[in-house]
Structure 1
Amino acid sequence: MRSKDKISYFYDGDVGSVYFGPNHPMKPHRLCMTHHLVLSYDLHKKMEIYRPHKAYPVELAQFHSADYVDFLHRITPDKQHHFMSEMAKYNLGEDCPVFDNLFEFCQIYAGGTIDAARRLNNKLCDIAINWAGGLHHAKKCEASGFCYINDLVLGILELLKYHARVLYIDIDVHHGDGVEEAFYFTDRVMTVSFHKYGDLFFPGTGDVKENGEREGKNYAINVPLKNGIDDASYTRLFKAIISKVVEFYQPGVIVLQCGADSLSGDRLGCFNLSIDGHAECVRFVKKFNLPLLVTGGGGYTKENVARCWTVETGVLLDTDLPNEIPENEYIKYFGPDYSLRIPNGLIENMNSKSYLTTIKMQVLENLRCIQHAPSVQMQEVPPDFYIPDFDGDENPDERINQHTQDKLIQRDDEYYEGDHDNDHHMDDV
């Protein structure tokens, strides 16, 4: 057991101020609520808190096509009518709307996951948390399922510079299709997704039979579940599969996507997990004592999202939190009982014991087909991106404008603490 974990936590208050639109289920405001709940429990005092850098277009283009990144950079709500054909091409529209500060939103949440990966690579922390990240549906050339830039893929590409094998685990109610697709042909990333499958549930992929191709054959693991799965069934299955995955694959680092739409009562979900059940998966993964990058993901009942990710921040810090929510800026959202725990759901569990046993046996059978821990020839470590200093030669359109400069000033509500070995630490700005 290693001594007390060193935890880096990434947050930028601007990420919670964007607005997808009045009828859209994605509410980035849930990130402000989470952060203030974390602060109210004094968890920030046990972590190093950083404002992430805004990922540069060249960094986003490590996975995404340059033309798609450029389009996201250019499109604004008032220009939409000029770009109808491109919007269709890149799948922007109802699910993935264009809103004010869209590109900056992508830069912040992706920057957080990239920074988290770099700190882990440089052994500056044991666990890195970016609740704004986890947007697992975005594809190389298009937006999908409320996701524009796939920060998880970018973070994993960063981790692959230092680690022969990366394990990706996804407990969102939706299949982690974008991450799986990105690494479908390689054995250097094993993707494991637990998700609702069937009944035309989005995104429609993630059958147990979809398990990778070519060098990646058997390195994509899908655990398709039915409505109403409860804590006991879910955590039993999760622990059985993940313990075997870690034993067989021997990853150097784990990325855990903690989508909170798998909680009971979620606006778009259909599972019956309590926060304790969801958090038990986080606790289990932490016990492997491997470098760990933790992100958010889905979650559409925002007060429950905030509760969940706060409890899980506590789990990562080995800190039990009292059930009574302390006074904070968003306390009114947690009424009438102001408690951290949520009641269990009432959806009938359609996952029979025999169904879950069958799924488990199929997954373990696929695992037995892989060689124990593939032997990867590590290349020379590629450099982190060279980001030019801003000087008189830069494109005037790209010059840091006043809005951006203003945002480099520390905000009162963010409480940055920690050491001074990160360029993006607030005291260094």
Structure 2
Amino acid sequence: MFSSVLIANRGEIARRVIRTARRMGIKAIAVYSDADQSLPYVHEADEAVYIGESAPAQSYLDSVLLIDVARKAGAAAVHPGYGFLAESAGFAQAVINAGLTWIGPDPSAIEQMGDKIRARNLMAAAGVPVAPGSAAPVADAEAAVEEASRIGYPVMVKAAAGGGGIGMSAAFDDDALRSAFDTARSRAERFFGSPEILLERYVPHARHVEVQILGLPDGRVIALGERDCSVQRRHQKVAEETPSPGVSASLRSRMLSAAVLAGEAVGYRGAGTVECLVDTETGDFMFLEMNTRLQVEHPVTEMVTGIDLVEQQFRIADGAAVSFAAESVSARGHAVELRVYAEDPRRFLPRPGRITRWQEPSGAGIRVDAGYVAGNTVTPYYDPLLAKLVVHGADRDESLARARVAVAGFGIDGPQTNLPFHAELLDCAEFVSGCYDTSLIARLRP
């Protein structure tokens, strides 16, 4: 096993990777910007290196700088976390070219899955179900209207190179599509450096369900169960759970098999996620995208399987066997993750500020992956995720009951947080029933 790792990220995920690295005896090297110098991960790392200004372009997105820091610090490997450069094929290849171990899939897999159109076509060829949609970038608004007439309304307009729901919107007629197309293209170029747009059939009543996969050093791809990520605001996840209460045993089996096919189609190695939409009216599922990295919501899978996914990333990147019997993975109980943000709990707008009190809940089945403590300041430079509250129980009822107690016991003063929203969600009859879809928050916040 490599002896040291540079974590090319910040906050909660950097702290999470440090925890496993130190348990395994691997030296953890952190990087930090002006805004992050007082955060816990900086002090918990074995070594921390200042990398520049608070703006991501001058720090966490500077791949040349990060590789230079890794070399000078004597790092043998690089873990990208999620976000920033985690799904940059160019950064992955640069790490490899520098003679360092890249803790992630091969750059070719990142590149193939990073383009949604290319990914759709590849998955369809591999036998993975995909929604009706465009097989090539849509040239302009009028071409989009013509394509929509073939696909059938409503359609979803997406950035081909994008993620995080940025610029994504549904259109139900030609006029709405023209407007959505221009907006999506503008945002795609601004945020992702590519104006390419694709259209897909929009499923009005859908669940967002993803499958955790691991590509092993011996070439096999295995699935570690599914996560339901349907609680979303502005196409961005807020809460996740496993197993999905909306997935039958038969559907689960088909989805896991399709996810394995998806991983095999690109020779996948390491931890990845195959995201799908499930049509609640027909019971059909379809490929959405593949995230070629560790997901924010990976802890719920860890809670039900007992598998440390970061440890497996380290092992697979080093060519070693995983630490569990890949042929007999079983899930125990139910887990829920609630993302705690510094944001207005009604409109979900960021609310940065200094944290004057931080009191984490504790008890049976409760895990908190946090990026902050009292005295830290949440700045406007980065995503306002404060922590992930993860709760495990023997079944869904117990995990939700424990989650209610944990939310009530999570004390944060200073910036506004969305903890009041989570309290409301956990008492929402639709969520508690398990019969919800991606428009749940829209109904709670009309």
Q: Structure 1-normalised TM-score?
A: 0.28
Q: Structure 2-normalised TM-score?
A: 0.27
Q: Which structure: greater strand fraction?
A: 2
Q: Which has the higher contact order (CA 8 A, sep 6+)?
A: 1
